[in-house]
Amino acid sequence: MKSNKILFLDTETGGLDPEINSLLSVGFIVWQEGKILDGIEILINDEVLNVSEYALKINKINIADHRKNAFKSVDAINKINEFISKHFSKTHHVTLAGHNVGFDVSFLRKFYEINKISFKDRFSHRYIDTSSIIKFLYLSGVLDIDVSSSDAAFKYYSINVEGRHSALGDATATALLFNNLMREVDKSRKYI
């Protein structure tokens, strides 16, 4: 298995604070050389479900339905590990990518910690953040406008994904965005 595979990540959460709010779902997209190889969304019921009304309004999660359909934490972690093991060797520290990925990583890391699973044994300490890439491309003059928010970036590159604002939909959209950003870099090299 090649080491240039990237695992795009997006989460839906019960709020903004991983120390307090629950991780409700995680979406993963396996990306390699511009292609989406596989994807999965895992709904999580941590049996606490600490959520804010504001978060549920944004992510449009019906908490009663979620409670019935989501995996308990241990089963969710098993599903995550099973999916990752299908695409990455056991010794490979998986590189995570996303849009403002620090937010998603903080929730996933806390979820692993609560469940007494080592995050650092499976995931790299390095991340790829498409929002930061966009900001860099804008500041370096490659992009004419700053479209570093996800809504602006997806609109700018005409990325329309079914299930937008779900963990899987947003992880998919971010992987497609990454492809567009790579093309921007490729175009800019032709002028150097």
Does residue 75 carry a pLDDT above 80? yes
Superfamily of domain 6-189: Ribonuclease H-like superfamily/Ribonuclease H (3.30.420.10)
Say how far apart CA 39 and CA 136 lie, in whole Å.
Answer: 28
Residues 61 and 44: beta-carbon distance below 8 Å: no
Reading the block at residue 188, the tokens are: 């800019």
> How would residue 190 be classed by pLDDT, with cut points 50, 70 and 90?
low
> So what's the pLDDT on residue 166?
94
> How would residue 165 be classed by pLDDT, with cut points 50, 70 and 90?
confident
Does residue 74 carry a pLDDT above 70? yes
> How would residue 192 be classed by pLDDT, with cut points 50, 70 and 90?
very low
Does residue 111 carry a pLDDT above 80? yes
Instruction: State the CB neighbour count (10 A cutoff) for residue 74.
Output: 10
Reading the block at residue 63, the tokens are: 């908490």
The pLDDT tens digits for 29-71 are 999 999 999 999 999 999 999 999 999 999 999 999 999 999 9
What would the mean pLDDT of 129-137 be, rounded to a whole number? Answer: 98
Domain ranges of the chain: 6-189
> So what's the pLDDT on residue 120?
95
Closest alpha carbon to 153 in 168, 133, 167 = 133
Residues 175 and 31: beta-carbon distance below 8 Å: yes
Whole-number mean pLDDT of the chain?
94
Q: What is the pTM of this model?
A: 0.94
> So what's the pLDDT on residue 102?
98
> How would residue 152 be classed by pLDDT, with cut points 50, 70 and 90?
very high
Does residue 2 carry a pLDDT above 60? no
